[in-house]
């Protein structure tokens, strides 16, 4: 099993050029990267037709490691660049990977508008509930009451539920997974990438270095256990009260709807303009 | 557009910019509405679909700038247009285009600032922002338009320079030029020189995306063309991967500047009018150069030997042409619709004093010893 998995990974990685990576030992980003590669392999996508674009932060370094067309953009703006790429060359499969601060703070406006516009892009948002690279400042997803380097006395802001935000903003496909549920994540990523329209996959991930350390979850294993305990499948959550769901979150597919995507609509406009 | 070419047309400046962009091969526009630039977006939304191009109205100017960079990376010539407030928002991604060497054209139809300023009045207050608006040391090309004909020709030139030098080109217009209607004769498409970026001539496995060459401009492969590589706003090595090694950082920054310096003769465009025997001169750009031309003609009619140097290229500053004027003329007037931005550049062309520079661009601190040694060697 592990040998097969490794060979798949090696085929898609710039393994001879860019390793070791910059992430801390035990970081969830590596699990997301592995999952992404298995999903791409499962879909049979060629490396030349794939684009992986990122913003800034620990997640922003992911494109360096994969042997696709890769792009490391500015903070929060990955979706804007991805929009240009997809519209200019619709045959490309364009995936963005962002962090929680990246996608929902500085890039929050781009995020909701990309969802509303429904361009055929996939947005993977690695939610580690903190700004990791800059030293553990609180992000829009840092839970109320928890601690961060800029919330030394406890966080008094309220967290965005990213997946639910994406559903409301109109994304065609929305799912949430965790780095603990890696096999499930493979499937969610594959479905999101295959979906025509804007897809969002939020991945709850561990930053034990910056978040866990300040919140009694000092190591990756403790954080994994936390995700295992707090994650509730969408089906089971439907049968639970709001009180029971209080500090838990749903995992699975939150939305999967079919609606016209931007490129299909724009092609119709072109045809109309050309007949005019 | 072919059916209308070669014909006389009544166009406003903003429309002529659209015609110029399309003639240069632009097939992607992303932007956000703003006065007095909105007509450019409106015309693009009308024209691009029939040409198999793409128009998109983004959520803000930050996104507009990001989208045109993305489209250009995918191999499509791209344009955005805005005015002061939007131009401020674009600075972040404009810097990315400089660092990653992504050809694109940004039109800034200047209005009075700072801030919201006077949204329907002309100004030339964004000259230094065009040159230095994004952070960090970076080269950029800035052109200025003064007539509707200019709007067409200079926009074509802007795309050609962007493609040839892999650099964002900023076209500074202003509310006067944008909304002035003039009769123009657009050239036949066959008569327009269109330059495209150079694609790699080697197989993908040999492609080194940021490899230096005699021009300092690496060949550029579009995403999806089989030449997979990494593009980043981090300082990168010749393969496109982030580096912090001082010698690689230094080589990168210096090449960015050298590629523009190498092209000075071609990039620095000026127009001399009645300068042959001029004793006094006006140096002007944009709409103001039209008033200047009129003033020079008036002076000539009264026997005063006046001349005009119109700057089409503001940056890289056309030093040679300006030096010529300063050598020849007793007095030089620099009129501008701002508190004096280009005049400082003109004053910098000062031959009386030797001014020596000392630079480091490798991420390392300039030490007191370095400066001391340099002072002693002067």
Q: Which residue has the tokens 């990001």?
A: B66
SS3 label, residue A269: helix
What are the φ and ψ backbone dihedral angles of B90, each rounded to 5 degrees? -80, -10
* pLDDT score at B355: 64
Work out the pLDDT band at B371, boundaries 50, 70, 90.
confident
Q: Which CATH architecture has domain A2-275?
A: 3-Layer(aba) Sandwich (3.40)
> In this predicted structure, what is the pLDDT of residue B351?
64
Q: What is the ipTM of this complex?
A: 0.96
The strand pair at A249-256 and A173-178 is best described as antiparallel
* E strand segments, chain A: 50-54, 69-72, 93-99, 122-127, 173-178, 199-204, 231-233, 249-256
Residue A181 vs residues A58, A192, A228, A229: alpha-carbon distances, Å: 21, 16, 8, 11
For chain B, say whether A265 makes contact (Cβ under 8 Å): no
pLDDT at B349: 86
Q: Which fold has domain B271-348?
A: Rossmann fold (3.40.50)
Rounded to a whole number of angstroms, the distance from the CA of B75 to the nearest CA of chain A is 8
Coil, strand or helix at B55: strand
Where exactly are the structural domains of chain A? 2-275
Query: For residue A10, what pLDDT band results from cuts at 50, 70 and 90?
Result: confident
Q: Show which residues on chain B lie within 8 Å of chain A, measured between beta carbons.
A: 28, 30, 49-50, 52, 54, 56, 58-60, 62-76, 78, 92-93, 96, 222-226, 228-234, 239, 241-242
CA distance B197 to chain A (A): 16
Per CATH, the number for B2-191 is 3.40.50.970
The pair of structure tokens assigned to B169 is 């080109």
Flag whether pLDDT at B335 surpasses 70. yes
For B229-252, the pLDDT digits (tens) are: 999 999 999 999 999 999 999 999
For residue B335, CA distances in Å to A88, A116, B83, B293, B295 come to 42, 48, 21, 12, 11
Q: Which of A17, A72, A79 sits opposite B231 (nearest CB)?
A: A72
- CB within 8 Å of chain B, chain A residues 27-86: 47-49, 51, 53, 63-64, 67-74, 77, 79-86
Q: How many A/B residue pairs have CB atoms within 8 Å?
A: 139
Helices (H), chain B: 13-23, 38-47, 61-73, 84-100, 127-132, 148-165, 175-179, 246-262, 264-267, 288-301, 319-328, 342-348, 368-377
Does the fold of domain B271-348 match that of domain B2-191? Answer: yes
Neighbours of B79 (CB within 10 A): 33
* Interchain contact, A269 vs B49, CB within 8 Å: yes
Q: What is the pLDDT of residue B35?
A: 96
Find out whether A102 and A75 touch, Cβ atoms under 8 Å: yes
Segment A59-83, tens digit of pLDDT? 999 999 999 999 999 999 999 999 9
Q: Which residues on chain B are in Cβ contact (under 8 Å) with A109?
A: 59-60, 63
Give contacts of A 92-111 with B, CB under 8 A. 92, 109-110
B368 pLDDT exceeds 90? no
Rounded-to-integer distance, Cα B241 and Cα B225, Å: 19
The yes-or-no verdict on residue A181 having pLDDT over 90 is yes
HSE-CB for B116 with a 13 A CA cutoff: 0
Do residues B162 and B68 lie in contact, with contact meaning Cβ atoms separated by under 8 Å? no
* CA–CA dist B376, A268 (Å, integer): 71
**Confidence band, pLDDT 50/70/90 cuts, at residue A6:** low
Q: Which tokens hold the place of A85?
A: 């790429």
Distance of alpha carbon B12 from alpha carbon B264, whole angstroms: 31
Give the separation between CA A180 and CA A21, rounded to whole angstroms.
21
Q: What mean pLDDT is predicted for residues B339-348?
A: 90
| Chain B: closest CA distance from residue A235 (Å) | 35
Ramachandran assignment for A182, one of left (phi > 0), alpha (psi -120 to 50 degrees), beta (any other): alpha
Task: Give the pLDDT confidence score for residue B352 in this predicted structure.
Answer: 55
Report phi then psi at A19, rounded to 5.
-105, 155
List of chain A residues whose C-beta atoms are within 8 Å of the C-beta of residue B233? 72-74
pLDDT in tens, A105-131: 999 999 999 999 999 999 999 999 999
Distance CA B290, CA B310 (A): 9
Domain boundaries, chain B: 2-191, 204-265, 271-348
């Amino acid at each position: 099993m592990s040998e097969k998995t490794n060979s798949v990974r090696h085929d898609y990685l710039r393994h001879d050029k860019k390793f070791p990576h910059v992430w801390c030992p035990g970081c969830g980003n590596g699990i997301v990267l592995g999952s992404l590669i298995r999903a791409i392999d499962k879909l049979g996508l060629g490396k030349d037709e794939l684009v992986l674009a990122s913003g800034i932060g620990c997640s922003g370094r992911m494109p360096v490691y994969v042997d696709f067309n890769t792009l490391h953009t500015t903070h929060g703006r990955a979706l804007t660049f991805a929009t240009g790429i997809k519209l200019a060359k619709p045959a490309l499969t364009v995936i963005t990977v962002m962090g929680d601060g990246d996608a929902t703070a500085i890039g929050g406006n781009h995020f909701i508008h990309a969802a509303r516009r429904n361009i055929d892009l996939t947005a993977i948002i690695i939610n580690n509930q903190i700004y990791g690279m800059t030293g553990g400042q609180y992000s829009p997803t840092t839970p109320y009451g928890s601690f961060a380097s800029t919330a030394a006395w406890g966080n008094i802001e309220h967290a965005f539920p990213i997946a639910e935000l994406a559903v409301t903003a109109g994304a065609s496909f929305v799912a949430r997974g965790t780095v603990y549920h890696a096999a499930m994540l493979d499937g969610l990523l594959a479905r999101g990438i295959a979906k025509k329209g804007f897809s969002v996959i939020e991945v709850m991930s561990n930053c034990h270095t910056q978040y866990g350390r300040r919140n009694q979850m000092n190591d990756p294993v403790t954080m994994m256990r936390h995700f295992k305990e707090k994650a509730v499948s969408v089906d089971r959550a439907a049968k639970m009260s709001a009180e029971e769901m209080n500090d838990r979150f749903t995992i699975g597919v939150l939305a999967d709807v079919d609606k016209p995507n931007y490129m299909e609509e724009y092609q119709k406009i072109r045809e109309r303009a050309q007949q005019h | 557009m072919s059916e209308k070419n070669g014909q006389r047309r009544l166009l406003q400046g903003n429309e002529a910019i659209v015609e110029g962009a399309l003639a240069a091969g632009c097939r992607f526009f992303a932007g956000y509405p703003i006065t007095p630039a909105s007509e450019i977006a409106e015309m693009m939304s009308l024209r691009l679909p029939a040409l198999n191009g793409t128009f998109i109205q983004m959520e803000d100017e930050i996104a507009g700038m990001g989208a045109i960079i993305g489209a250009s990376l995918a191999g499509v010539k791209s344009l955005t247009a805005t005015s002061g407030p939007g131009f401020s928002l674009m600075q972040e991604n404009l810097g990315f285009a400089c660092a990653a060497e992504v050809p694109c054209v940004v039109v800034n139809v200047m209005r009075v600032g700072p801030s919201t300023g006077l949204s329907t009045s002309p100004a030339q207050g964004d000259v230094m922002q065009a040159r230095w608006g994004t952070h960090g040391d970076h080269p950029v090309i800035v052109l200025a338009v003064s007539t509707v004909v200019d709007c067409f020709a200079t926009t074509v030139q802007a795309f050609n320079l962007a493609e040839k030098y892999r650099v964002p080109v900023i076209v500074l217009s202003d509310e006067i030029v944008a909304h002035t209607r003039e009769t123009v004769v657009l050239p036949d498409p066959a008569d327009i020189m269109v330059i495209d970026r150079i694609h790699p001539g080697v197989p993908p496995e040999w492609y080194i995306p940021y490899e230096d060459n005699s021009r300092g401009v690496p060949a550029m492969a579009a995403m999806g063309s089989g030449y997979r590589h990494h593009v980043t706003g981090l300082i990168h090595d010749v393969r496109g991967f982030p580096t912090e090694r001082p010698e690689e950082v230094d080589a990168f920054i210096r090449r960015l500047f050298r590629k523009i310096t190498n092209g000075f003769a071609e990039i620095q465009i000026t127009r001399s009018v009645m300068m042959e025997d001029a004793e006094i001169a006006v140096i002007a750009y944009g709409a103001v150069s039209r008033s200047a031309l009129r003033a020079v003609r008036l002076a000539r009619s009264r026997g005063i030997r006046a001349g005009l140097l119109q700057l089409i290229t503001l940056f890289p500053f056309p030093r040679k042409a300006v030096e010529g004027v300063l050598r020849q003329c007793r007095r030089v007037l620099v009129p501008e619709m701002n508190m004096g931005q280009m005049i400082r550049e003109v004053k910098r062309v000062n031959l009386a004093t030797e001014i020596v520079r000392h630079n480091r661009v490798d991420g390392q601190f300039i030490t007191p010893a370095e400066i001391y040694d340099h002072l002693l060697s002067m």
